[in-house]
């Protein structure tokens, strides 16, 4: 059994869900520790009906043989997590900082569990928009080799943290009341709007969020030849990212075959019945752990094309659930 599980970033949007999942999924460990910034240190957190004092995240906060699950901003992950590895802990990191480091395993347990088991250092969990797409791509890739992906995202404000959620709620109220509101998590009003920029602009006019979808997907699938064109958009939805995905495969995949492939792949659930207007939506997928697929149809513009709609809770499978599943994997093998 794991001796100690240490949650870093315990008070953040994802950290809170990691703690809930450790409770819900009855994760076995002798001891649980909760670390956060100096601001939260000393406050208490309720875990399995008991109050636990939040400890301050410092360079020497880690002990040997801990399983650290971290969800922090990139700069914090860059600074503190190497100290956990040096102390002899295993680390699962939710931040974007370590994912593309060649020495770091980037893991979705349903796709590449062995990478987590073989990892010597940090194990990274992918960006939320990548995780749901790569899970949907994997069975298609195995069956018919995906050669090209065109994806557009419709991303919830919870992806921008607790302040993102506060901005949507307070900004909407202010908008309806005709009052001014100063947004903190977004450069533009998110209430009654759509913002076609998530992250910062990088090469060729693509944003960091869009390039994450390209690079992380290739790394997880182990296929650098895969062509991906992503457009990431923030929309005024509280929780769950949605994606329209069109793929080209080496041979045609019919909607019936795709439905079968998706249905048989762990972590994916098909919600696709046009006769009853059944398709996944943020409102029906929030607080759930799967990746949900609907609107599966032939791409009428290409003989080897297939289009579908994909929704997942960005804080759960897109972040906390994936991290806790990696922890479960490590726990089973220890």
The structure tokens 């990139």 sit at 74
Nearer to ligand 2RA, 89 or 125 (CB): 125
Q: Is 8 annotated as a binding residue?
A: no
Is 241 noted as a catalytic residue in this protein?
A: yes
- DSSP, collapsed to helix, strand or coil, labels residue 304 as coil
Given a contact cutoff of 8 angstroms between Cβ atoms, the answer to whether 193 and 200 are in contact is no
When binding is defined by CB under 6 A, the residue of 93, 110, 167, 209 that contacts ligand 2RA is 209
Q: Are 318 and 312 in contact (CB under 8 A)?
A: yes
Cα 279 versus chain centre, distance: 21
149 is in an annotated binding site: no
246, 150 Cβ separation under 8 angstroms: yes
Q: Does 9 bind ligand 2RA (CB under 6 A)?
A: no
Catalytic residue (choose from 128, 232, 240, 310)? 128
Q: Would you give the DSSP letter of residue 262?
A: H
Residue 288, annotated as binding a ligand: no
Judge contact between 126 and 322, C-beta under 8 A: yes
Min separation Cβ 128 and ligand 2RA, Å: 5
**Does the annotation place 90 within a ligand binding site?**
no
What single-letter DSSP state applies at residue 231?
Answer: E
Please give the Cα distance from 92 to 122 (Å, whole number).
Answer: 6
**Min dist. Cβ of residue 200 to ligand 2RA (A):** 12
E strands in 63-143: 66-70, 90-93, 105-106, 123-124
- What 3-state DSSP class applies to 72? coil
* Nearer CB in complex with ligand 2RA: 128/144: 128
Under the criterion CB under 6 A, does residue 159 sit at the interface with ligand 2RA?
A: yes
Q: Does residue 198 bind ligand 2RA (CB under 6 A)?
A: yes
Is 17 a binding residue for ligand 2RA by CB under 6 A? The answer is no
Candidate segments 36-44, 153-161, 218-226, 262-270, binder of ligand 2RA by CB under 6 A: 153-161
178 appears as a binding residue in the annotation: no
β-strands 44-47, 105-106: how paired? unpaired
Q: Choosing from 141, 240, 241, 310, which is the catalytic residue?
A: 241
Instruction: Give the CB-nearest residue to ligand 2RA.
Output: 159
Q: Determine if 155 is a binding residue for ligand 2RA (CB under 6 A).
A: yes
Please, which of residues 78-137 interact with ligand 2RA by CB under 6 A? Answer: 127-129
- Tokens at residue 33, please? 């520790």
Indicate the residue among 128 and 268 with the shorter CB distance to ligand 2RA: 128
Q: One symbol per residue from 273 to 312: x for binding ligand 2RA (CB under 6 A), - otherwise; what is it?
A: ----------------------------------------
CA distance 12 to 16: 6
Q: Does 12 bind ligand 2RA (CB under 6 A)?
A: no
Instruction: Give the nearest distance from C-beta 100 to ligand 2RA in angstroms.
Output: 14
CB nearer ligand 2RA, residue 272 or residue 313: 313
CB of 209 to ligand 2RA, least distance (A): 6
Pairing, β 55-56 against β 227-234: unpaired
Cβ atoms of residues 215 and 227 within 8 Å? no
Output phi, psi for 262, to 5 deg: -65, -45
CA distance 229 to 43: 44
Q: Which of 160, 270, 310, 315 binds ligand 2RA (CB under 6 A)?
A: 160
DSSP 278: B
The number of residues making up the chain comes to 334
Binding residues for NADP(+): 11-14, 39-40, 158-159, 314
Binding residues for substrate: 155, 234
Catalytically active residues are: 128, 241
Site for ligand 2RA, rule CB under 6 A? 127-129, 155, 159-160, 198, 209, 314
């Amino acid at each position: 059994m794991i001796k100690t599980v240490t949650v870093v970033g315990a008070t953040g949007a994802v950290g809170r869900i990691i703690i809930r999942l450790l409770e819900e999924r009855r994760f076995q460990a002798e001891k649980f520790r909760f670390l956060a910034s100096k601001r939260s240190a000393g406050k208490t957190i309720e875990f399995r009906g008991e109050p636990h004092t939040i400890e301050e995240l410092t360079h020497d906060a880690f002990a040997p043989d801990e399983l650290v699950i971290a969800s922090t901003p990139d700069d914090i992950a860059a600074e503190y997590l190497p100290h956990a590895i040096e102390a002899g802990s295993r680390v699962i990191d939710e931040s974007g900082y370590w994912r593309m480091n060649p020495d770091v395993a980037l893991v979705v347990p349903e796709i590449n569990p062995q990478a987590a088991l073989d990892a010597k250092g940090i194990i990274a969990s992918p960006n939320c928009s990548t995780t749901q797409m790569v899970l949907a791509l994997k069975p298609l890739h195995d069956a018919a080799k995906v050669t090209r992906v065109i994806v557009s995202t419709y991303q919830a404000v919870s992806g921008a943290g607790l302040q993102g959620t506060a901005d949507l709620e307070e900004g909407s109220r202010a908008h309806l009341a005709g009052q001014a509101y100063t947004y903190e998590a977004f450069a533009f009003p998110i209430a009654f709007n759509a913002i076609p920029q998530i992250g910062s602009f990088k090469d060729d006019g693509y944003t960091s969020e869009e390039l994450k979808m390209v690079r992380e997907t290739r790394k997880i699938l182990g296929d650098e030849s895969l062509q991906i064109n992503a457009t990431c958009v923030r929309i005024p939805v509280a929780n769950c990212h949605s994606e329209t995905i069109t793929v080209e495969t080496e041979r045609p995949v019919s909607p019936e075959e795709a439905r079968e492939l998706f249905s048989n792949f762990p972590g994916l659930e098909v919600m696709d019945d046009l006769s009853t207007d059944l398709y996944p939506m943020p409102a029906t997928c929030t607080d759930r752990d799967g990746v949900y697929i609907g609107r599966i149809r032939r791409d009428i513009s290409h003989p080897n094309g297939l289009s579908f709609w994909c929704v997942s809770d960005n804080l759960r499978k897109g972040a906390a659930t994936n991290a806790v599943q990696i922890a479960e994997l490590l726990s089973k093998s220890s």
